[in-house]
Amino acid sequence: MTKTAKCVFLIVLLAVVSLNIAGQTRTTVERYAAGHQQEILAEFLSLLSIPNVASDKPNIRRNAEQLRQMLGQRGFAAEVLETDVNPLVYGDLRVPGAQRTILWYAHYDGQPFDPKLWKQDSPFKPILRDGRMEDGAKEIPNFASLKTVPPGARVYARSASDDKAPIIALLAAIDALRASGQKPKSNVRVILDGEEEASSAGLISSLPKYRDKYRADMMLVLDGPVHSSGKPTLVFGGRGIATLEFTVFGPKFALHSGHYGNWVPNPAMDLIQLLGSMKDENGRALVEGFYDDVPPFTPEEKRILASVPDDPAELMQFFGISRTDKVGANLQEALQYPSLNVRGLRSAYIGSEARTIIPESATASIDIRLVKETEPDRMIRRVLDHIRKQGFTIVDKPPDDSIRAKNPRIVTVSSGSGGATFAGTKAYRTAMNDPSSVEVTNVMERTWNEKPVRIRTMGGTVPMAPFAETFGFPIISVPVVNFDNNQHSENENLRLENLWKAIVTFAALLSM
């Protein structure tokens, strides 16, 4: 053989061996998951049964204690880390001879909910359906006793997808490796956030205190759904977020709309005109400088963004919409820009409670999604400047008579989360050609025999920017749950097939 031929042979051999190893891991772990569905499910259901809204302190603590025990059972040095707010759960699993340490992140708190909207007794009494509820799937009674669940079955519960399933999958992956006499290749550090749905304040503020515990060579974030195509997915960045709440003030008390309509200004209409001035009919922000910090895409970036197999027609049909906002050429491009979203509106009453009044105030809650290039403070300043340019005076509390007497349009602006500052959560992004990015991509490709969908910046927010800034390590998200999981809404669910696959994915990443 020539030297070249030898080289090619070795490369091919290496590739075949790697594929085999990945293939072997996959087969072994799949077999393990299939044979242990009942116990994996039992641990999952037990965790889902503990209410986990961030403000519910006693139950948050119950979640943390249970998770600490679950890590301890797998040989982690596990502890509950106290923060200013909700506790974190931390586990450290040292692997003799490991060349590096990977920090795995997930969160155990869940979104607030309206129990009336759930089609089950409680979001914390998980039920199993034999498919998607919206498609008419039926409840499977007494499913806890099933040895294997039907394909397509889904667990309905708060945090089934967001974000308790990944925790269960990671632990099951470790169990699966162990059961086949293997162990992780890198040291495993796990950090479980107890306040992600309420800004991760504890995680972020604890960074200086627990810096040594978080130190690692790479961070893998287990949160969010896979791409809508259902393909294996990797995410290299997340948008940041800032929330704002505006209250516009009208007369000191609600007035009879007959006696004063056409003379006393209506604060709901003032708010409408203020918000209306912020966006055009194509959904593009009109706030000055809103998109200025985002550089144009390179041809390579445009190519990668276009390579994501989004199916806009299918998505639009699924969502029941027949037009889209026009911020980018496609969904992926749109997500590389900051967004401005009216998430809630309230003034006086509607429906049978409506009264013929000029309301005394009107309130809007707003979220601004940020990208890596858009600093929260600068974006908030732009919005506040815009508000002032519309003739509004911004005050920090409901106006007294003298403020009212001097200012024709008055608005309070708060952070929208009760806080006094507008800190916001920064965006982050790991380069897709970083060596770790390439390695993780390759592991995924070998495990699933297809290139993963690569998302440059996902639309949602995970509070990873301070970690990127502190440690400089690459941060890559490995979402595993089904796309149609009703995350953040009522009837959240997990397609169990995604759980079984997540166990394989995590086992492969633990083995790299």
What is d(CA 248, CA 364) in angstroms, rounded to the nearest whole number?
9
Residues 95-154 binding its own copies (CB under 8 A) are 111-112
Which residues contact residue 229 at a Cβ distance below 8 angstroms, ignoring those fewer than 6 apart?
309, 310, 311, 453
Binding span for its own copies by CB under 8 A among 79-87, 125-133, 169-177, 407-415: 407-415
Q: By C-beta, is 101 or 339 nearer to its own copies?
A: 339
Task: Report the residue from 350, 396, 397, 472 that binds its own copies according to the rule CB under 8 A.
Answer: 350
Q: By C-beta, is 37 or 393 nearer to its own copies?
A: 393
What is d(CA 157, CA 41) in angstroms, rounded to the nearest whole number?
13
Strand 187-193 versus strand 88-93 pairing type: antiparallel
Site string for its own copies, 60-99 (x = CB under 8 A): ----------------------------------------
Residues 240-299 binding its own copies (CB under 8 A) are 241, 243, 245, 249-266, 268-269, 271-273, 275-276, 279, 281, 283
Answer yes or no whether residue 349 interacts with its own copies by CB under 8 A.
Answer: yes
Instruction: Indicate left, alpha or beta for 262 from its phi (over 0: left) and psi (-120 to 50: alpha).
Output: left
Answer yes or no whether residue 387 interacts with its own copies by CB under 8 A.
Answer: no
Closest distance between its own copies and the C-beta of residue 274, in Å? 9
Q: By C-beta, is 38 or 393 nearer to its own copies?
A: 393
Closest distance between its own copies and the C-beta of residue 105, in Å? 17
Q: By C-beta, is 229 or 273 nearer to its own copies?
A: 273
Binding span for its own copies by CB under 8 A among 122-130, 323-331, 432-440, 442-450: 323-331
**Nearest residue to 108 via CA among 162, 58, 175:** 162
**Nearest residue to 44 via CA among 200, 196, 188, 153:** 153
Answer yes or no whether residue 328 interacts with its own copies by CB under 8 A.
Answer: yes
Crossing angle between the packed helical segments 165-179 and 57-73, to the nearest 10 degrees? 10
What is d(CA 509, CA 166) in angstroms, rounded to the nearest whole number?
13
Answer yes or no whether residue 421 interacts with its own copies by CB under 8 A.
Answer: no
Written as six digits, the tokens of 328 are 């980018």
Task: Report the residue from 208, 296, 320, 472 that binds its own copies according to the rule CB under 8 A.
Answer: 320
**Nearest residue to 463 via CA among 205, 290, 211, 216:** 205
Q: By C-beta, is 70 or 165 nearer to its own copies?
A: 165
Closest distance between its own copies and the C-beta of residue 322, in Å? 5
Q: By C-beta, is 12 or 316 nearer to its own copies?
A: 316
Q: How many residues bind its own copies (CB under 8 A)?
A: 96
Task: Report the residue from 44, 90, 214, 337 that binds its own copies according to the rule CB under 8 A.
Answer: 337
Strand, coil or helix: 134: helix
What is d(CA 435, CA 12) in angstroms, rounded to the nearest whole number?
21
Residues 26-65 binding its own copies (CB under 8 A) are none
What is d(CA 483, CA 230) in angstroms, rounded to the nearest whole number?
7
Residues 184-243 binding its own copies (CB under 8 A) are 238-239, 241, 243
- Alpha carbons within 13 A on the beta-carbon side of 248: 28
Answer yes or no whether residue 353 interacts with its own copies by CB under 8 A.
Answer: yes
Task: Identify the sign of the CA torsion 126, 127, 128, 132.
Answer: negative
